[in-house]
Each structure stands twice: as structure tokens, then as C-alpha cells.
């Protein structure tokens, strides 16, 4: 039997931001605020020297907080000029993932970004790669 090893680490942080989504009936909600929890998950099939890590937790957490600092305490649909698209939790997870990839030199290790807007309500964006 052949085993394929995979390491996975995650960092989570909180930020406050407001949004409003377009409901199934086509009406837009009133802007409302959440205390979001964002989680970035990194995967690698090997540990990287010198510390034998997938990524450094401290570095990843600082990077995540820097990405969401731009979104904090804002009405995000307007802040990112996203008026034609509803900024759902799914879109927010995607936005954070893309901003993380832009800012990191090791984008190939980011596996997913999840956002939780309230307990039990989470959306995840998975990064797919075309080889």
C-alpha cells in the first residue's frame, strides 16, 4: 500500500464588517454588520526548512489580518466596488483568498479560505490549480 502524506495548518482571525446581499426574490438586504471569523488553510506534501513548517503561523496570521484590515468596519459592497454582485459570505471568502494569494510569495500552499458570519454559518472558497 502506498500512502501520500499531506500536512495542513490553519490560522483564524476576527474582523468586523458590514454587507448586504441580494436575496432570492431579487431584493437587497439592508446593510448589516457581522463579527466575521476568517480561516486560511495551507497544505503541503513536505515540510519546509529551516523550521520544518508548512507556513509560519505568525507570518500567516499577520498576512491574514493585513488583508482584512482593508475590509474592517466598512460596508464592503461599496468598499470593493461590488455593487453589481452580492457580497455574500462565499464572495467574501473568495475575495480574501485572492488578496492573500496576491500578497504572498508562496501562493501554491494556500488551500482554502473560510469565513464564518455567525455560529454555524460558514462559507469556504477552495483554490484550484491547473497544472
* Angle subtended at Cα 97 by Cα 13 and Cα 41, rounded to the nearest 5 degrees: 60
Per-residue pLDDT for the chain (131 aa), expressed as one digit of tens each? 888 889 999 999 999 888 888 888 988 888 888 899 999 999 999 998 888 999 999 999 999 999 998 776 555 555 444 444 678 899 899 989 999 999 987 556 899 999 999 999 999 999 986 55
Architecture of the domain made up of 7-23+31-126: 2-Layer Sandwich (3.30)
- Grid coordinates representing 117 are 458570519
Say if residues 68 and 93 touch (Cβ distance below 8 Å).
Answer: no
Residue 29 is given by DSSP the state P
- Grid coordinates representing 28 are 437587497
- Domain definitions of the chain by residue range: 7-23+31-126
Amino acid at each position: 500500500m502506498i500512502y501520500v502524506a499531506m500536512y495542513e495548518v490553519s490560522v483564524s482571525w476576527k474582523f468586523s464588517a458590514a454587507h448586504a446581499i441580494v436575496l432570492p426574490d431579487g431584493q437587497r438586504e439592508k446593510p448589516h454588520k457581522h463579527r466575521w471569523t476568517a480561516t486560511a488553510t495551507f497544505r503541503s506534501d513536505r515540510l519546509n526548512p529551516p523550521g520544518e513548517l508548512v507556513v509560519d503561523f505568525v507570518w500567516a496570521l499577520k498576512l491574514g489580518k493585513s488583508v482584512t484590515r482593508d475590509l474592517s468596519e466598512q460596508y464592503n459592497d461599496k468598499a470593493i466596488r461590488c455593487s453589481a454582485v452580492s457580497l455574500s459570505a462565499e464572495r467574501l471568502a473568495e475575495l480574501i483568498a485572492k488578496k492573500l494569494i496576491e500578497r504572498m510569495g508562496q501562493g501554491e500552499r494556500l488551500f482554502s479560505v473560510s469565513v464564518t458570519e455567525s455560529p454555524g454559518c460558514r462559507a469556504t472558497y477552495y483554490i484550484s490549480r491547473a497544472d
